[in-house]
Every structure is written in structure tokens, then in C-alpha cells.
Amino acid sequence: MEVYHNLVKNILENGTLRENRTGVDTIAIFGAHYKINLQEGFPILTTKKVYYKSIIRELLWYLSGQTHIRDLRNHTKIWDAWTSEEKNWEIGKMYGYQWVNWEKHSHNLATGECEVTHINQIQNVIELIKNNPESRRMVVTAWNPSVLNEIALPSCHAFFMFNVIGGKLNCHLTQRSGDVALGIPFNIANYAVLTQMIAQETNLEVGELSHYINDAHIYVNHIDGLKEQLKRRPKSLPQLEISDKPFWDLQFEDFTIKNYQHHPAIKFEVAV
């Protein structure tokens, strides 16, 4: 994808060297933004192999609302670096939990009791799209300040929102931080899948994916691999097919990516 390559080039040419909590320096820019036309194909990188099965598994894990990776680890180890067997593979109330189980605390002033209910933000968005597609309140947030000291990693892709124009479903994703070599390719594909799932559920076509990254960075030990990737010629984008099922009934086997042609994988080390 040209927009991804342009992002990499921009950071390599204009980024500032910075220290960070991981101990591996980055070069970074502030406020990267681009759009991807989802009608042109499924936006998975072709200049390196991306493990799309892990992308689907991760998204379905988010939608499950689980606070652990015990089930996810049966299929992919992409989250292993942020927890351990000693911690029972728990990561806390992040991402998917906030998407589908956001806690609402209601206090009864007369009795002093507190009732906790849960908000499924994804389902609320689906209902808005179906019943009020002109709404400007189709927002899902994973950033919950009350749990930041309890979770494995404060949410990088902090919130996203949808927009319906001309019979097409558009999605805007805001990230507080983005690891361009490793995380961003997954984030792009992940939200493209989610947008297509919701579009199918609401009888809309896919439109654009708009992506803003507040701190877009490249770890210094990823520079050589990205330079190699930039030398490669992109191939045609594949197509994503999703079974015609209700949104919450979709399983891994219901997703098929067709004609995914790609260059060889490039190994990047995870900075934790």
C-alpha cells in the first residue's frame, strides 16, 4: 500500500530520535494521518508477509471481551510478550473488554448501594448504523483512565468511530501510539476487517478507513528491515470474504482472504 510506504518514508526522512520506556530508541513524528479506500481491496501489506490468520484471531478475541489470552494462545502468540504463565496469561480490562463490557456504575443515593452494568459499545454502534445512520455519535473507546494501572498495556488504538455517507460505511481510528513496523500493519488490517463485518451486518458497502497516529514511530532496530521493504514492489491487494451470518455468530472459519500474494516475511523484534 502506497500510504503505508509513504508513512515509513516520512518517518525515516523527518523523524526525531527519542528515548522511551522500552529502552530501544525510536525515530518518531507527530500526527500522521492517511486514508485507505477499502473498495480497492483488503489492505494487508504485500511487500512483506503478514500473518492474516493472527489478525482475524486477534479481532475475534477483542470481540469476545476476554481479559486473558489463554484461548488466543492456542492460535497465535502475538500477545505473549505482555503477560506470562505466572500471571495466568491475564492482561486486564483492556481493548475488547472495554469494547463490549464497559462498566457503568450506578449509585443509589438513598441506600448507598452501587449497581454495575455493562455497555456493549460495538452493539450500540451497530444499532445506531441500522436505525440512525446520520448519527455522529458512533464512537467506541478503549481508553478507560480508571484501569490504566491495572492492565498490561494502555490501549494504543484508543478509540474509533464510524460514519455513513452515500450508502458506505467509513471508519476512523485514532491511535495514541503506533509501532510502524510491527503494530500498524496489524491495526490497519484489523479495523478493515471490523468495518467490513459491520458493513455486512448493516447492509452497507465499505467506504474508507481513516487512520490518525499521534506518535508514529520506528524502533531503531527496525530501520534496516523497513528500508528493505521499501525496495519491494507492491502486489495487487487481496479480497476478504465473510460468511453471510449475523455479526455475533461469525467464527474464524467464516473469513477467507483470496489471492493474497506477498513478498517474504521480514522479522522485527518486539519492544516491550
Burial label, 139 (beta-carbon count in 10 A; 0-12, 13-18, 19+): middle
Asked if 200 and 243 count as a contact pair (C-beta separation under 8 A), the reply is no
114 as an active site residue: the answer is no
Give phi and psi for 70, each to the nearest 5.
Answer: -60, -40
What is the spatial distance between Cα 251 and Cα 243, in angstroms, rounded to a whole number? 9
| C-alpha dist (Å) from residue 217 to 11, 136, 153, 221, 232 | 7, 30, 17, 12, 21
What is the spatial distance between Cα 216 and Cα 31, in angstroms, rounded to a whole number? 7
What is the spatial distance between Cα 225 and Cα 208, in angstroms, rounded to a whole number? 29
What is the spatial distance between Cα 34 and Cα 212, in angstroms, rounded to a whole number? 7
Asked if 229 and 26 count as a contact pair (C-beta separation under 8 A), the reply is no
Asked if 103 and 92 count as a contact pair (C-beta separation under 8 A), the reply is no
Which DSSP letter does residue 48 get?
Answer: S
- The active-site residue, picked from 94, 156, 180, 216, is 156
What is the spatial distance between Cα 23 and Cα 75, in angstroms, rounded to a whole number? 29
Residue 75 CB partners (closer than 8 Å, separation 6+): 53, 54, 57, 252
> Which residues have a catalytic role annotated?
156
